[in-house]
Amino acid sequence: MGTYFSDVVDRAIEDLYYCCDNDKAKAAAYAMLYQAVSLGSAAAVLGALRMDMLTPELKEIMPFDSIKEAWDVIYEKAENGCAFCQYMIGNTYYFLDIIE
């Protein structure tokens, strides 16, 4: 762990995307989303966008000037081999979040 993200973020990713327990995943998303976005997690910004949870309040507190700026961070990590970031970038195209 800790190759592309901190151990805490890696744990959240595991809880959200790699576990089969929907209750655990929902609890992790709601408990950590606000904090993650406010602390500058580009993955949290794109995740919130995908879940339709990127509220005006979250957009205001995120340290990125735009969603595109957060997308660029994730894209760079995807280019460097992070499979999770590749998945997120793929989702932005598949679900047309890229238009945002």
pTM of the model: 0.76
Q: Are 88 and 78 in contact (CB under 8 A)?
A: yes
pLDDT 10s digit of each residue in the chain, 100 long?
457 888 877 887 787 778 777 787 777 687 788 888 999 999 999 999 998 889 999 999 999 999 999 999 999 999 999 999 999 999 999 999 988 7
With contact defined as beta carbons under 8 Å apart, do 29 and 71 qualify? no
Residue 29: which of 47, 46, 7 has the closest Cα? 47
**Phi/psi at 52 (nearest 5 deg)?**
60, 40
